[in-house]
Structure formats: structure tokens, C-alpha cells
Structure 1
């Protein structure tokens, strides 16, 4: 998927350092080494995808998604597991391009649902997802192990 200045493409191991920089915009201290390991694993996984939004000289955003077979109905649930836009590049359509690309991937797989989790403290992200057509449907309970 391309726009006049942005290209959304699959992420690859050579993108690890720039993806790590994007993730730091969310406050995650993810290293480029850890990202490279995940990218290598995801490349072999038919259920995972990492997409990046690229300009000529740099990456401006990243999204990852995972497809989960549904037990109670036909199809899959696609979960956006990460979405981050590089600091200083917010509100330029980059997040929209990435979410739309994940949605296209989900539709091509025959997924029946897509979901994303956003921290309670990220009100700007909540507004973004609502504007993209996502609604609050359920509560998620977690437990640290």
C-alpha cells in the first residue's frame, strides 16, 4: 500500500533498529536485537505480520498483528499487537495507513473480527481507534505470571 510519500510494506530484520526507535515512542525499551529476533520468527509464521510505514530515508511507524483461530465460530480474530508512530510524526496519517494495511491483511485471510488493546492511560489512542471505526466491546482481564 503506497501513498504519495509513504509506503507500507512488510518489516524485515534490517528494519530492527528503526522499529525499536518507533516502539520507544510508546515508552517501551525494546532493543533492536530483540526486534530482530521477533522479525525473524514472524517471517516464518503464517499467523503473524509486521508492517512498517517507510519514507525514502526512514521508517515512520510500525504495526504488528497476529491471527487467532476462533473456537466458537468460523474464521479468525486478528489482533493488532503493536502500533507505534515515530515521535514527532504523529497526526500525519501514518497510523491510519498501518491500521488499514492490517485490516486488508485480515480480510485477505478471511478473518471475521479484528481487535486492538490500548492502555487505559492512552486517551489519544482511544480517540484514534474510535475514529477508525473501532468500538469498546468487552473487558479484558489480565494476570501477570
Structure 2
């Protein structure tokens, strides 16, 4: 697949394309909820969002967070990475991860961490293929404090 991809910092103007990929990722969210999430990311000094653009359409996005860790003090964590199904295996994910790595280095962060749901089998081959090492498996527990559901 030969396509021109540009990686840009995400903005509010990318909301519709980002939201479409949130739904493709399998999350139930309306555009207003996605908009509130995007606005919080854009206002956060610890987060960055990038979009992959092809033919004026958002075909992927990635979010990274500067995290505080007991082990290394500050690290970078990819908290979301989605590539549209119709452009997977075209290098879009690699370009988005490269943007995360470049941002992380510029912030003085020496490690990038990513967590992947066991159900996302495509990612379990992708991340090792670009140099990530599988280091542990964890369980995630959630407790709603206000009676709402995720």
C-alpha cells in the first residue's frame, strides 16, 4: 500500500476523525465525550496527542503521557494508539510510535512503556517488531466511586 502519511499534533479540528477511530477501537463514546477527553488532553502539560493524516482524513492517532515512576522517576507511556483497519500494515503505527519516541526524548525521558489488552492480538506482534520488550502481565481492577460504569 503506497500512501502519503503526515503525523501532526492533534487539535480540536481533528475531533471527528479521532472519534471515528475511538469507535473503531471498540469504545462506546459519543462525540461529546470524545471531545471532552480531547480537550483535557490538549490542556494537559503531561500529555500529547498525534494524528496520522492521509488524504485529509485521520487514519490513526496516538496519545502519550509523561508519567511518574518509582523505578525511574519519569517515563513516557503510550496510553492509546489506534490505526484505522483499512490502513493497517502500511507503517502508520510505526510513524505514530516514532512521534511518541521523539517527544519523549525531547522531554528527557529515556523509556517508553505501553500496556496492551490481551484481546488486542495484533498489538502483541506489533510492539516487539519495533523494539518493545514484553516485561510483565498484570490484572486491572476498577472500583466505581460514584456508582457510574465505565
| TM superposition score normalised by structure 1 | 0.89
Q: Residues of 2 paired with 1:68 and 1:139: CA distance? A: 19
Alignment root-mean-square deviation, CA: 1.5
Does 2:109 match 1:140?
no
Flag as ranges the 4+ runs of structure 1 deviating above 6 A: none
Gaps of 5+ in 1: none
The aligned counterpart of 1:15 is: 14
Q: Residues of 1 paired with 2:6 and 2:68: CA distance? A: 29
The aligned counterpart of 1:71 is: 70
SS of the residue 1:88 aligns to: helix
Gaps of 5+ in 2: 144-150
| TM superposition score normalised by structure 2 | 0.86
| Count of aligned positions | 141
CA shift, 1:70, in A, is 2.7
Q: Residues of 1 paired with 2:33 and 2:11: CA distance? A: 13
Q: What are the equivalent positions in structure 2 for 1:1-145 lying under 5 Å apart? A: 5-74=4-73, 76-145=74-143
Q: Does the 8 A contact of 1:22 with 1:85 survive in 2?
A: yes
